Structure 1
Amino acid sequence: MNDCLFCKIAAGNIPAKIVYETDLCCAFEDITPVAPLHILIIPKKHMENLHSMDENDSPIREALFSAISHLVEKNHLTQSGYRLVINSGDDGQQSVPHLHIHLIGKRSLQWPPG
């Protein structure tokens, strides 16, 4: 998608601090972090939200969760814990219409969120 912020980041047209990348996905630091660790994991293929995925997107789903596992291990979060967040739509406060997963950690998180 030509005007999608995250597509531009994935293509390398907008700078971001990339912390993980494969052919199918990439992860970068959030520019407005809510915790000491706040990473966004996105598919390189444009998808507006989780419901945009279909059965043909299984490799992308697998790549996203593989990225999460890698980043959790790399950042030593397995013992202390972390939170994954997927916002969808207006009520879900999705700010960029491109599927993205927030990996948040390295501080105690409260419940309920929001």
Structure 2
Amino acid sequence: MDCLFCRIVSGEIPATLVRETDTTLAFRDITPKAASHILVITKEHYADVATLAQADAKLAGEVLETAAIVAEHEGLVADGFRVIFNTGEYAGQEVSHVHAHVLGGEPLGPMLAK
């Protein structure tokens, strides 16, 4: 098993957990891009959000539900937050395991910058 996130799910690699459900895991990003930066992953391996959405729409919804709950628990709802899925090389996906970035806690600036 060479998938970093699968190794986190199995407990082989430690992570600072924020929330766990039967199907999802949320943990703090080790290189945060915002004051609050949490990753929400599926426990089952899917390469990206497109693959997940086509294979299991219910589980895709559970990822979004976990992201929303995490944002609420982090106190991000009042001022706003982002949920980002990077899919593929051009989008900057670094780990080939579906994951949502929940970002907030400070002004995030424009959506994209060139």
Q: Give percent identity, aligned residues only.
A: 36
TM-superposed CA distance for 1:84, in Å, is 1.0
Q: Mind listing any 5+ residue stretches in structure 1 that lack a counterpart? A: none
Q: Write the deviation string for residues 35-54 of structure 1: whole angstroms up to 9, x where unpaired.
A: 11000000011000112125
TM-superposed CA distance for 1:59, in Å, is 2.9
Structure-1 separation of matches of 2:61 and 2:67 = 10
1:3 aligned to 2:2? yes
Match of 1:108? Answer: 107
Number of equivalent positions: 113
SS at match of 1:42: strand
Q: Mind listing any 5+ residue stretches in structure 2 that lack a counterpart? A: none
Q: How do 1:1-114 residues align onto structure 2 when only pairs under 5 Å count?
A: 2-54=1-53, 57-114=56-113
Structure-2 separation of matches of 1:54 and 1:78 = 25
SS at match of 2:26: strand
Letter in 1 for 2:30: I
Supply the RMSD in Å over aligned alpha carbons.
1.3
TM-score with structure 2 setting the length: 0.92
SS at match of 2:87: coil
Letter in 2 for 1:50: V
Q: Write the deviation string for residues 55-80 of structure 1: whole angstroms up to 9, x where unpaired.
A: 55133122212211211111111110
